[in-house]
Amino acid sequence: MRRAFLFLALVIAVAASLFGTGNPTSTAAERLHLDVRFDHVDSGIEARLVEAGFEIQLAVPEFGRWQGWQPRHRLEELRSVAGVVAVGTPLYATLSAGDVLTEGDELLNAASARNRFDVDGSGVRVAVISDGIIGLDEAIQADEAPRLQEAKPFGDGRIDRGEEGTAMIEIVHDLAPGAEISFGAVYTDLDHIAAVNYFAQRVDIIVDDVSFAYPANQRSDVSINTTSALRHPDWPIRLYVTAAGNWAESHWSGTWQAGPDGTQVGLSSPGAVHQFNLAGDAGLFFGAGNGFNVEQDDEIRLALFWDDPWGRSTNDYNLYLVSGVGEVLASSVITQGVGVGQDQPREHLTYTHTGEATVLFAVIQNHNNDASPVNFDLFVFQTGRRQLRLSHQSPEGSLLAQSDAADALTVGAVNAGRQVVAEYSSRGPTVNGIAKPEISAVDRVSVSPSTIFGPHFSGSSAAAPHVAGVAALLLEAHSALLAADGGSPLLERRLIRDILTDTAQDILPIGPDPSTGAGLVDANAALEYSNSRIAVIESIADSGPGTFRAAIESGASILLFANLSDQRTIVLDSELPRLPSGLVVDGAGWTLDASQVEVGLQLGDNTELWGLSVVGARDVGVIVAGSGSRLVHVTVDGNETGIRVDGADVRIERSTVIRGAAAGIEISPGASASVSGSEIGSNQGPGVRILSGAGNVSIGPDTELPILSQASEQPPPIAELKSAALRPRSGLSHSVSGSVSIDGLPAMPGNRVDVYLDRRLAASVRVDHRASFRATVTGPGGELRFAVDGVPLNQRVAFEAGASTTLTLRAVSRHRLIAADRQGEHIDGANLIHNNLVGIETPAAEGDVHGQRFIWGNVMYRNRINLASPLTAPTIEHAGWTASGLVLSGRADGAAIVHLYAGTDGRRRYAASIPVIEGQFKFEHLDVDRVASEFSAIAFTTESRASPESDVHHVPEAGSIVSVTPDVGYIDGGETIEICGTGIASNASAPRVWFGNAPARVLFWSTECVSVQTPRSQAGTADIALLVNGSRPVVAIDGFEYRAIRAVSLKPGRNFVTWTGSDTRVTTAFSSLAGATFRAYAWDAERQQWQIFSTDLPASLNTLRTLKHDQALWILLEGEEIDWLQPAPE
């Protein structure tokens, strides 16, 4: 019975393993199980979903997705909900189990490790995520499994849906019998996201065997979510173990190779099919199909991906399942790039084979030969326990989503006794080239007969829990790595992964490889290595056992500080030895008081210092003497000089360097360093001093040189448009011509302009020497779009037969940088440099600079950049505003690029960069904070040599906003608001008005007041900005509040209003008016009389009992003005 149940569950799971446009899962009650995706998230989404009949099961707003149930007859109503971009079947999980036999506890040396090191996983919390735990009670009664700490279903998951979780729990328990184990049942990718986020906040190790049929490019929602959980700075999770999958023989990858036309192999539509066998001597019609054996009643799933950007594909390939005699049995013919939700580079189909055992073929077609050559990944699944094997296989790259998650430990399966990878175990690398799996473990292990997997359990589902069990033993042995003991989570997670992989038993092929990673996990070796390499500091004394000094001298390569609750400050009596090369120190939460010594700490080569605070040193808090060292989350406070860098290639990241009596950071001659994501403030000398002879210095985000950021070029709303050939058309033509600019500069001769008609390439021409283009597009069609050098533009032109259109194409280069959002948040990796004597300084005597001085992206507050440089400081000559943003220009002689900083009250942040042409620079349509009143610039040569900072250019405010009436409104907008003040308009022209980033419609204006209609927005406060005649915008910060409910302002006396909610009892409808005295009158058209509700009358005398939707009311209010809060309008 259990076998039949699991088979049915897996049929359902794999059947819909791809989110898409297939038939949604339904029930006998005609409800559809759906995944609804939105293009943006606002506070009213759930109300709109419920109104459309959607029963919410799970919400994951960070990915814009809601999962739940919808009545079939209301499906179109759901699809028409505002903001919905796709409605389809949830992405269901596939599991990684098989049915053969061996053992794991002895082979991975876990039994030996438990005895040698007296550990059993006690104090370590493990969560298993899989399909279900049928049979667990029997396993518990047989002492094969423990009683769980928690068993929780997520979303559509059910505890009683499957049995694989039971087998995995048994394996973890066998290796780590003292560990506390919990279980989460999942079925869809949103279930999985919810489970990971739940357990990552409660356990130390998570292990799963779940795959989802998305490309392994680390960009799926499930993979991104797992990585985010592992990078959360506060969650206790220390290790995530995931099965690689069993798809090596069920996967093929390759580049498009044109074969015969589809009509020659049984397809009805024209277009070449892929040639799998280039020799042309095997398979369907000389290699045009990829065959696999099937048996009667096999439930078959085919999934095809290609390497277009996900969600931005316009290459139209189709997928067919064809019999050996050319009969099309099933097909997937989504037209990529046409219609909502049709721009994902994938096809998928389902077929149940009812005939006898035979060979079927997967066929890929280039529809109408209109698609460009791409790289494919083809998978075949069968919903029972038998693997389907393609005749043309690609074991490499056979991972699926979730197994590709960054920072997770992906586990391959090794046939015990053979010392080679199992033939079915999925191989790496990922689609984006990341090495996975990282490690392996044995499968074919014994489990109890309480599940269908007993007595033999195989596949990477069996391998993964072995690694989790070994990790539990390791964490018990070194509890300082657990969250309960403090420390730096990101470092500790990395150290655990490194210990397991560094001590793995290498197996064939020799060395790290994409099949087995580092080799078989080895419990004995991991604990032996960690015991010899880890030293724990448990004393605040300067010297003696358990001290920092003793740990440095012990020869250990990893130093961890214990979580002492009473005090964690070490007062140094004498200077510490220099930290040896390769040492890793995790000192989060601990402080070195160096007030009695000259130097707090010295670092050797390739040393990592995390989390430690060094205070009060008489000379230098931290000297980085060696090269290749790294300081992360280090605090250096109140030293003479905070950090002195003497070595090369030193990285200072996310650290705090404050209150130094001299410089915060000093870069010595011959040294080189990068400083990112750090706070450098309140030092009495320079925040950063770069001495003469220093090498390359980068102060700011660790990214490529920025090029341009412009408000007029938002991320394109269409996919990256491309096609192998022009699509043949017939009909009248539409001519387009005009000029082209790239990054604000005239396009160069040879730059390419592509013109698309209804998203299909219709013309491709080159820019001439006048930066102009001309193209003729033959119809019929609806809309023209454009791309310059492959970068899509926002501009669109309606196709009109016989018409001629002239326009200017304003493009940006592929390397543009969106540097910072307009609300003033600095970009990731920027430093906050504030309140120093000088922000950054190089000595005037430096002369010939030895290395790069790359300083960009930072936030400067009440200090300036003072660089000695052969370049002269740039000069800002003009700053003004247009409706599309800031216009700012100036000179920068001898420079190649200029970085602009903008802000107010002495606080300036990086805003954008632009090339310098013949000594001139000009920013146009620049999106900066509209309250910015101060601007400065730094220029750079092509070798990244920096100029001094320009003088600060101040722009006075044009006027001020005194009142906004009303200052509260509904998120749907459309309400009339009056804005009054000084200098907010002129007699000659209306101002431009924005609520946040959304433009408002101006109804009328005077020199003192402007009446506008509010735009739609999300709930919350919004700035109001008015632009008058190119002057600096007049801004009211948080001047207007958007509410998800409607606020109707009632004034004393008579008010004629409308009830926008659904039919509601008056006591509920008027609940927000509690305490007010009023009378409400509604006309009863049927009885031709007034109904009344009065707060002065007894309830029995009130005849108005219910407010109907859109009912008009007269309300007579006594006392002060009050807001009547109503539900969102329908």
3-class secondary structure per residue, 506-561: CCCCCCCECCCECCECCHHHHHHHHHHHEEEECCCCCCCCCCHHHHHHCCCCEEEE
- Both tokens of 838, joined, read 């000088």
CA distance 816 to 708: 5
What is the β-pairing status of strands 150-153 and 180-185? parallel
- Both tokens of 868, joined, read 């000695």
pLDDT at 1128: 63
Q: 219-228, 702-711, 923-932, 975-984: which range is least confident on average?
A: 702-711
CA distance 153 to 293: 36
- Residue range 890-895: mean pLDDT, rounded: 93
pLDDT at 855: 84
- Residue ranges matching CATH 3.40.50.200 in the chain: 95-246+403-526
Give SS3 for 192: helix
Dump pLDDT digits (tens) for 364-398.
999 888 888 999 999 998 766 678 999 999 999 99
Arch. (CATH architecture) of 248-382: Sandwich (2.60)
Give SS3 for 1099: helix
Q: Which fold has domain 733-811?
A: Immunoglobulin-like (2.60.40)
Confidence at 715, pLDDT banded by 50, 70, 90: very low
Neighbours of 1071 (CB within 10 A): 11
pLDDT at 202: 95
Q: Does domain 95-246+403-526 have CATH number 3.40.50.200?
A: yes
pLDDT at 18: 37
Backbone dihedral angles phi then psi of residue 380, each to the nearest 5 degrees: -125, 135
676: number of CA atoms within 13 Å, CB side?
Answer: 17
pLDDT at 457: 58
Give SS3 for 1104: coil
DSSP 1097: S
CA 132 to each of CA 127, 185, 321, 531: distance values in angstroms, whole numbers, following the listed order: 13, 5, 32, 37
Asked if 34 contacts 81 with a C-beta cutoff of 8 angstroms, the reply is no
pLDDT at 930: 77
Q: What is the CATH number of domain 960-1043?
A: 2.60.40.10
- Residue ranges matching CATH 3.30.70 in the chain: 23-88
CA distance 1034 to 407: 47
pLDDT at 736: 93
Give SS3 for 492: helix
Dump pLDDT digits (tens) for 418-474.
778 889 999 999 998 999 999 999 876 555 454 455 455 567 788 999 999 999 999
Q: Is the pLDDT of residue 844 over 80?
A: no
CA distance 724 to 319: 19
Dump pLDDT digits (tens) for 741-797.
775 566 777 788 988 887 677 888 988 877 789 999 888 788 888 888 777 676 778
pLDDT at 371: 87
What is the β-pairing status of strands 665-667 and 641-645? parallel
Q: Is the pLDDT of residue 15 over 50?
A: no
Q: Is the pLDDT of residue 212 over 70?
A: yes
pLDDT at 703: 67
Dump pLDDT digits (tens) for 304-342.
999 887 777 878 999 999 998 889 999 999 888 654 456
Helix (H) or strand (E) holding 636: strand 635-637
Q: Is the pLDDT of residue 1130 over 80?
A: no
Dump pLDDT digits (tens) for 86-107.
887 787 777 664 432 335 566 7
Q: What is the pTM of this model?
A: 0.73
CA dihedral 1040, 1042, 1047, 1053 (to 10 degrees): 10
pLDDT at 120: 93
Confidence at 111, pLDDT banded by 50, 70, 90: confident
- Both tokens of 427, joined, read 């191989």
- Residue ranges matching CATH 2.60.40.10 in the chain: 733-811, 960-1043
Helix (H) or strand (E) holding 911: strand 907-915
Dump pLDDT digits (tens) for 467-519.
999 999 999 999 989 987 778 899 999 999 999 999 999 988 888 999 999 99
Q: Which CATH class is domain 23-88?
A: alpha beta
- Residue range 158-167: mean pLDDT, rounded: 87
Confidence at 250, pLDDT banded by 50, 70, 90: very high
Q: Measured at the alpha carbon of residue 487, what is the angle toward residues 483 and 489, in degrees to the nearest 5?
A: 65
723 or 966, greater pLDDT = 966
- 925: alpha, beta or left, given left = phi > 0 and alpha = psi -120 to 50? left
Of the ranges 174-188, 313-327, 836-850, which is most confident?
A: 174-188
CA distance 201 to 186: 17
Dihedral sign from CA coordinates of 95, 101, 107, 111: positive
